[in-house]
Structure 1
Amino acid sequence: MALIVLGPLLGSGYLLLRDAVSTPRSFLTDSALGLGDAAPRAVPQDALIAVGSAVVDGGLLVKAMLLAALWLAGWGTACLARDLLRVSLGPQLVAATVAIWNPYVAERLLQGHWSLLTGYAALPWIALLATRLRARSATAGRVGALGTWAGLAGCLAAAGLTPTGSLLAGLMALLLVGKRNLPATAALWIVSAAPWLTATALSGAGAEPSDPAGVAAFAARAEPWLGTLGSLAGLGGIWNSTAVPGSRTTFFALAATVLLLALVATGVRAVLGAGTDSESRWGAAARSEARVARRRLVWLAVVAIVLPALGATGWGLSAGEFLVTRVPGAGLLRDTQKFVALAVPAYALCAAAGCRVVGRWISTKVDGVSAESPRARTGGAAVLFLAIVFLTLPDLAWGVGGALRPVQYPAGWQRVADAVDAPGDVAVLPGGMFRKFRYSGSAPVLDPAPRMLKRDVLQTGELPVRGGVVSGEGERARKVENLLLQGGSANRLAELGVGWVLVEGGTPGPMGESKTTLAQLNPLFADRDVQLYRVPGEIAAHDAPAANRRLSGAAHLLWAALLASGFLTAAIHSVTRRSVPREAEPESHPDHDNAD
């Protein structure tokens, strides 16, 4: 399924669609470490790509991570269904399909939020591991196996590739891990969030209030015939009406949502209930903990859908505006539809349980056998459920209807990247952060310059949304942009720390009186796509203090160590555990039971 979704993107080229930008090589600039003017929204994502692209082509690295995220989302959800429901292979495949083949994944792909999907992929694994830790502490009075803790640490770090993913993962872990394990889990989460927490503290960007206009601009959106609540319940409703599959823009959205919710409804009772005979070999405490985990996931799904819907109402918008203007860092919560990701594990569990329920019902009606018989037709029910899930979103296939396709950068970009090798930040023209290049398609794309060049590229952070503009935090970038558009002097550019001006051709945007300023600069390179100018004179230093770079670098290294050591330790422990005879393992713990 992951290959079917991402097929076109896996060819030669780079992901360049709305917020998604991959380049051949990225660099550890101040902005990549979260120490620029803007809030650290892409930390530690940018630093990881900068380090990784020194070894592997950056475009290949991003595509590999995105493919792995979708694959792991499906696999993790199947494992979660196996552990919490004890379902066979067919219902596990249903759970995996719900996790991959849904509007949330489609819309976030179209919006370019590939790194958020790594956090999304970690959620079922975190739910699985947290439940195992809770069950172990409840049944054996122990804090849990080292391998389970290591796996949880690695998943929290993986989800922490972006601040939002980190929040989603932390909420999931803390909800399910149990009181006895809360302190250790909270400590692991803080370590996994160290890069963006450190960057926020050092840069001070997170302490600034956000533009209240962003609350309404990024609120969940009603899709045709559904309303806001119905759109969110169908796992859709992203704020950007252009970043949705075509099938979600017509009456088909209502029919697809009804079908999805019908599948979920068939298994709600089984998920919330006391369990089935397939759980009879569990210990009483293990059954109880699995039931608690299932119920908490269901209630989490309800909250994850209802709260964003309330946030789009009049009083909800007022409450959001109050928060972002008075609570530091609250701007991270303004895109409320992101949190619908927390509902997907419960949806997948209910669909898997419903598949088993329908299979047993068919068996009793057609074959006249007991509902608990091994002959129950869960395989046939699974085929039916899979067909319905695929039908609800037919245009997710092959790059979300072809929207995801690789892009080739013109040769001029590499010439510019090689030339920018002296002190001074880079200013860009036309004004604004988004571009429409001749080679990137019809959708706007985030300017690739910040991830292409060795020096920091100044960006205002202003976002054009729904016909308006949401202000950003880049105060110096705003001064530089205004100076260029007003035809200011080269000397003033140098005082503001600008050593380079890059003009990106063929894309709409304001140029103002910038010709007056460009005439004062030294041209270095020009073709139809990019023109590079060097600002003469002495360039004032505006780099982040060396101490801040060291602290931020240490936080990134701590995060990377948690990521690598967590998964490595979990893998070693898993291999070691497989060598232990099954008879030596405690039968009452759900970690050690086979699936039906």
Structure 2
Amino acid sequence: MRLSPALVGLVLGALALWPALGPGFVLRYDMVFVPDPPIPPIPPIPPIPPDGGGFPRAVPSDLVVALLSSVLPAQLVQKAILLGIFVLAATGAAALVPGERRVARLAAAAFYAWNVYLAQRLLLGQWALLLGYAGLPWAVRAVTREGVRRTAFALLPAAVGGFQAMLVSVMTVLPVAGRRAPRALLVAAVLSLPWLVPALGSAAVTDPAGVRAFAPRADGPLGTLGSLLTLGGVWNSGAAVPGQETWWSALVRLAVAVAAVAGYALLGGGRPFAGRGHRGHRGQDPETGGDPEEGRGRDSGEGDGGNGRRPAYWGGLAVASAAGLAVGCAGAFLPEVVEAMVGLWPGFGPLRDGQLYLAPFVLLQAVGLAAVTARLSPAVRPGMLVLPLLVLPTFALGAFGRLGAADYPPDWSRVREVADADPAPGALLTLPWGAYRAFGWNGGRVVLDPAVKLFRRRVVWNDGLPVGLGDGRTLTLATEDPLARRVGALLAGSGPLTGPLAAEGISHVLIQRSNENLFRARLPGARLVFAGQDLLLFRL
């Protein structure tokens, strides 16, 4: 029985990722894994100017992946991480449900591992954020037990995920911790040092225009607020699950959300989680056939509703959920306020993507749905396990092909060997000057330029993101990295680039062959050191 939630997570993960579990890498938007990823050099290879680079978004996740990939093939590491997200999420949600009801726990596990929020963030490629999402119920459970060591262990997935995963976790954990909040904050701060230190020393800028670009949007007929209440509303239409925009899907998800919130409110009233039905012979539970006290205590959470008390986390999780909804609504309905905050201090930049902070609300709905399940008749309860699948069937099979596996062409490994073997110091510039690519060998799926994570030397790339606003206009956000801003200004001109780029500490230029004519004439004197079918590498 203890393994049942893990099995639920594993089955749901396999169903969601099925096309992506074959040979190759899953490459979509921000999800970029490369063969044999290099361990990031510390400090950066000189003579790169001490700009601090852009915001450390992939810290320490890239380092952890590189270390694991030194033991196992990188594509196996990626698949294990993705499946692990589903298993960790399901087991955590089940462990957070108070009482002894087996099916209720499994209902929470299924919902937390299969919902619109998880699907949209996975389709955005934000696996690092989802590590924090998956560990969130474990963190909530840990802070109710006063153990610093247990809290630190529960926050490890968020620590690996980096700043977004940790911010979501902290926003949830602190209200739950109550008087133990200072201790929980200290633990989170220590675990955040790998990204917090470089972030504080970075010269990166945050464009306030990103507030409107990343604001939650209506992804169905219920409008922006309805999308948020049903756990959707992500800013990128490319992350939508097929069919979720239909009236049928939206109304069913809204009904589930209302029922789940009502169930959570019922749990807060101190109602027993045991639900309806009569005890069996000699006090046996009619569902489990065992001792009605079995499963309480250590495995059911502190102060559980199974004995008539509200869970210790109940109020804190409700506050965190309300705060997450407020952040999402602020970006959508009061963008001027968030823009003013970002303009005042770049540290408010993470508030731009408000839908991201719905994670505690997803957990609240999972627990609430378990409370509803426990109060149904025994004949109906098993149907709650498949309810998430019925509500969002098109998340299956990689969202009907939106996720898949692909092999890198040989050019990528060969060009890395050439660049890494060159003892000359300096950075590598990747062109064309845009962050995202749509390679034919990747099925045309949009993905961050893999060169960003491929080489041992620093890679200079355009981190200014163009975002379609839905009305036909495109908003291009300012580049964060100071060096990239200067390089972008050079590229925007019309003169030779060889000398100016070398003066900025750039020693190599990587160009997609399809863009050769745009840039080769502007690199006089540069030596072609690699010419493949897809890629060209010049040394300045």
CA deviations on 1:547-591 (whole Å, 9 max, x unpaired) are: xxxxxxxxxxxxxxxxxxxxxxxxxxxxxxxxxxxxxxxxxxxxx
| 1:29 alignment partner, SS class | coil
- Write the distance in 1 (CA, Å) between the matches of 2:82 and 2:191: 20
Please identify, of 298-307 and 455-464, the stretch whose mean Cα deviation from structure 2 is larger. Answer: 298-307
Displacement of 1:66: 1.6
Which of residues 509, 516, 519 is equivalent to 2:521? Answer: 516
Q: Does 1:303 align with 2:314?
A: no
| Conserved? CA contact 1:461–1:472, under 8 Å | yes
* Residue in structure 2 matched with residue 455 of structure 1 by the alignment: 457
1:290–1:411 distance in 2 versus 1, CA, 3 Å: same
Distance, in Å, in 2 between the alignment partners of 1:176 and 1:262 is: 23
Distance between the aligned counterparts of 1:305 and 1:489, measured in 2?
48
SS in 1 for 2:441: coil
Q: How does 1:342-353 map to 2 (within 5 A)?
A: 342-353=360-371
Give the match for residue 228 of structure 1.
Answer: 224
Among all aligned residue pairs of Structure 1 and Structure 2, give the percentage whose two residues are the same amino acid: 33
Instruction: Please tell me whether the aligned partners of residues 39 and 473 of structure 1 are also in contact (alpha carbons under 8 angstroms).
Output: yes
Matches of 1:156 and 1:192, distance apart in 2: 8
Match of residue 534 from structure 1: 539
Contact 1:8–1:405 (CA<8 Å) still a contact in 2?
A: yes
How far apart, in 1, do the equivalents of 2:79 and 2:184 lie? 31
State how many pairs are aligned: 489
- 1:293 CA displacement: 1.7
Match of 2:39 in 1: 28
Alignment match of 1:86 (pick from 91, 99, 105): 99
Superimposed CA distance per residue, residues 326-376 of structure 1 (whole angstroms, 9 cap, x where no aligned partner): 1131112210100001111210111000011122xxxxxxxxxxxxxxxxx
User: Does the CA contact (< 8 Å) of 1:221 and 1:237 recur in 2?
Assistant: yes
* Mapped contact 2:272–2:309 kept (Cα < 8 A): no
Letter aligned with residue 124 of structure 1:
P
Q: Do the aligned partners of 2:435 and 2:464 also contact (CA within 8 Å) in 1?
A: yes
How many angstroms does 1:71 deviate by?
Answer: 0.8
| Counterpart AA for 1:251 | W
Q: Give the conservation status (yes or no) of the 8 Å contact 2:273–2:374.
A: no
Q: Is residue 86–residue 278 contact of structure 1 (8 Å, CA) maintained in 2?
A: yes
Cα pair distance change 1:391/1:505, threshold 3 Å? farther
* Contact in 1 for aligned 2:51/2:482 (Cα 8 Å): no
| Partner residue, 1:442 | 444
Aligned to 1:11: 22
What is the letter of the counterpart of residue 92 of structure 2?
G
- Give the 5 Å matches for 1:32-431: 36-81=52-97, 85-133=98-146, 144=147, 149-160=148-159, 161-179=161-179, 181-205=180-204, 208=205, 210-265=206-261, 267-276=263-272, 278=274, 286=303, 290-313=310-333, 316-359=334-377, 377=378, 380-421=379-420, 422=423, 423-431=425-433
For 1:277 and 1:326, how far apart are their aligned partners in 2?
47
SS at match of 1:19: coil
- Residue aligned with 2:58, SS: coil
Q: Is the 8 A contact 1:26 1:451 kept in 2?
A: yes
Q: CA deviation at 1:112?
A: 0.5
Q: CA deviation at 1:224?
A: 2.1
- Secondary structure of the 2:54 match is coil
- The alpha-carbon deviation at position 390 of structure 1 amounts to 1.2
Cα distance change of structure 1 residues 483 and 327 upon mapping to structure 2, 3 Å threshold: closer
Measured at CA, do residues 319 and 130 of structure 1 come closer, stay the same or move farther in structure 2, by a change above 3 Å?
Answer: same
- Partner in structure 2 of residue 475 of structure 1: 482
Aligned equivalents of 1:13 and 1:32: distance in 2? 31
Deviations 1:135-169 (A, max 9, x none): xxxxxxxxx4xxxx323202223212220111111
Change (3 A) 1:178 1:489: closer
Aligned to 1:580: none
> How far is the alpha carbon of 1:99 from its aligned partner?
0.2
Whole-Å Cα distance in 1 between the matches of residues 438 and 490 of structure 2?
A: 23
Q: C-alpha separation between the residues in 1 aligned to 2:320 and 2:201? A: 33
Instruction: Structure 1: state its 5+ residue gaps.
Output: 134-143, 360-376, 536-596
Q: Whole-Å Cα distance in 1 between the matches of residues 517 and 534 of structure 2?
A: 19
Give the counterpart of 1:503 among 511, 524, 535: 511
- Is the deviation greater in 423-432 or in 150-159? 150-159
Check the 8 A contact 2:331/2:352 in 1, yes or no: no
- The question of whether the paired residues in 1 share the 8 Å contact of 2:465 and 2:476 is answered with yes
Q: Distance in 2 between matches of 1:172 and 1:269?
A: 18
Q: Which secondary structure does the structure 1 equivalent of 2:508 belong to?
A: strand
Residues 459, 478 of structure 1: 8 Å contact kept: no
Name the CA shift for 1:303/1:174 in 2 (closer, same or farther; >3 Å): closer
Equivalent residues of 1:428, 1:457 under 8 A apart: yes
The one-letter code of the counterpart of 2:173 is A
CA root-mean-square deviation: 2.4
> Structure 1 residue runs of 4+, over 4 Å off?
30-36, 277-283, 287-290
Q: Higher helix proportion, which one? A: 1
Alpha carbons 2:103, 2:381 under 8 Å: kept: yes
CA contact (8 A) 2:428 2:457 kept: yes
